[in-house]
Amino acid sequence: MTQKDLYDSVMSKSYAIRFEQGKHEISFHLIQLLLERLGMEIDEFLYIHHGFQESLVERFYDEYGLKGNANDIDGLMALRSTYRAFPTSYQNSLRLTELDARIEQLTYFNQHSVFSKEAISKETRQTIHDYLDRIETWTIGELRFFANTLDFIDYERKTEYFRSILPSLHRYKQFKRGRTVICTLLINEIHELIMTTELGMAQILLVQLDDFSQGVEAMFYRNTHHFYSGLLLIAQGNVSAGKLQVEQAIMIYETLGYSHQAALSRSFYQLLRPTNPPE
């Protein structure tokens, strides 16, 4: 592609030359026009710009999710040490808070085989509450923080947050990166609702999860939807059908190598089963 083809009607030849030499900056709007002519999406451009790496935020959450879902406390502690060495900033302090909360939660889980809000220090929970209380318009980054800290949030606050979030979730249905965040958020809340027998709201969120996990790339979320749909059936008294779904989902986790997810699901299943009438 010639410079003329790329820059025609966007900027003059002389300005384009100075831009390429680093002597001029251009607006985000013009960058989008140029990328469109090059046939490149903005997220690929940024990936290249970061040295063929994801952004710092994405790298953090990739590592956080990988280690947290594998119950890798040592890995989470190493990650915390890495980010403690970063320059002080509000966003970095929030990342450290997420890591502290997950480490405290998993340590307690490994000792007692249950998750408990009481395992999280009051200071950590307060930092989480203070941040979420300030949010007025939810971005994907804020939804992801909420999804990752949902277990540690007081019930009253959580209900208020969901009231402000649910009406606008549909806006992100066509945004692939957003869908994975929203699926995680829905799964975490569905879990709590079923475990506290708030089955009506759980049913509503399962419908949302079904809607957001339709694509082939969302197979993990589809299986999780299958698992919680089974738990909901058990909680509603349909033990035989629910048990079948739950055990199928756990088997799929194990077959695909998600051993920690299988162990967690089995523990949730065991917690729920004693409350049900005999089959």
Going by pLDDT thresholds of 50, 70 and 90, the confidence category of residue 152 is: confident
Where residue 133 falls (left for φ over 0; alpha for ψ -120 to 50; beta otherwise) is alpha
Predicted local distance difference test score (pLDDT) of residue 278: 44
* The pLDDT of residue 277 is above 80: no
* The pLDDT of residue 154 is above 50: yes
Q: How far apart are CA 259 and CA 184, in angstroms?
A: 18
Residue ranges per structural domain of the chain:
3-49, 54-168, 173-279
Mean pLDDT of 2-26: 91
Q: Where are the beta strands (DSSP E) in 129-235?
A: none
> At CA 72, angle to CA 260 and CA 147, rounded to 5?
70
* The pLDDT of residue 279 is above 50: no
Distance of CA 77 to the CA centre of its chain: 20
